[in-house]
Amino acid sequence: MSHELATKLRVGTQKAHTMAENTTFIRCFLGGVVNPQSYRKLASNLYFVYSTLEEELTKHREHPVVGKLFFPQLWRKASLEKDLEFYYGPDWRSQVAPSPACAKYLQRIREVSQQDPVLLVGHAYTRYMGDLSGGQVLKKIAKKAMGLGDRGTAFYEFEAIHNHGEFKKQYRLAMNNLPLTEADCDRIVAEANHAFHLNMDMFRELEGNWLLALAQLGWNSLFNRRPVASEA
């Protein structure tokens, strides 16, 4: 059944996507102002998000809809474990915990997994397609802003996917061929928008001293200075 779910998701989440990009944390990030403490907290929150999402997707790998989007090569949990060891040290597991906004996000993923697994498609789309697209830009920014070498950005590296563009085409085709009704598609788009807002709540927790960050962002832009990590 072809219903252009991929297009419905892209168009239907456009407003939420723009709103997410305009949160202070992401605006500063895109401008090259990255606070190391905030970034490592983001990495720890994402670890819990992906651990939960990938656990729930695995539970439904035989589901007639969710199972058709079972692509373990997308999984981010192991990559984030590498990053957390880099940022927190070998005992990182004892130092990280979900923030309040992250806990709310995890609860929603588990809730839809139990009550309406089809909605996991919206969560998978929101996270993984963004990682394969804008995530590659964020990797370069993070490396430059925080002076990183070869470690600390494993999250953005998809070693099992050699051609991101081709893989995204494959993923979109799989979405478009899911056995869904139009009503199902509408519910998935609504859930994807909800996922964007859950992400925005996590970003807002990380804004910290946003006046200082915005001032540095303006300074970098005005004088075309090389971005450096803020210490907000």
Domain-by-domain residue ranges, the chain? 5-21+33-214
What mean pLDDT is reported for the chain? 89
DSSP string, the chain: ----HHHHHHHHTHHHHHHHHTSHHHHHHHTT---HHHHHHHHHHHHHHHHHHHHHHHHTTTSTTGGGG--GGG--HHHHHHHHHHHH-TTGGGT----HHHHHHHHHHHHHHHH-GGGHHHHHIIIIIHHHTHHHHHHHHHHHHHT--SSS-GGG--TT-S-HHHHHHHHHHHHHTS---HHHHHHHHHHHHHHHHHHHHHHHHT--SHHHHHHHHHHHHHHTPPP-----
Instruction: Give pLDDT, residue 231.
Output: 36
Q: Please, are residues 148 and 157 in contact by the beta-carbon 8 Å criterion? A: no
Q: Of 132, 117, 134, which Cα lies nearest the Cα of 26?
A: 134
Tens of pLDDT, residue by residue, the chain (232 residues): 557 999 999 999 999 999 999 998 888 888 888 888 899 999 999 999 999 999 999 999 999 999 999 999 999 999 999 999 999 999 999 999 999 999 999 999 999 999 999 999 999 999 999 898 877 788 999 999 899 988 999 999 999 999 999 999 999 999 999 999 999 999 999 999 999 999 999 999 987 654 455 555 454 444 444 443 333 3
CA distance 232 to 229: 9
The verdict on domain 5-21+33-214 having CATH code 3.30.360.10 is no
Instruction: Give pLDDT, residue 218.
Output: 52
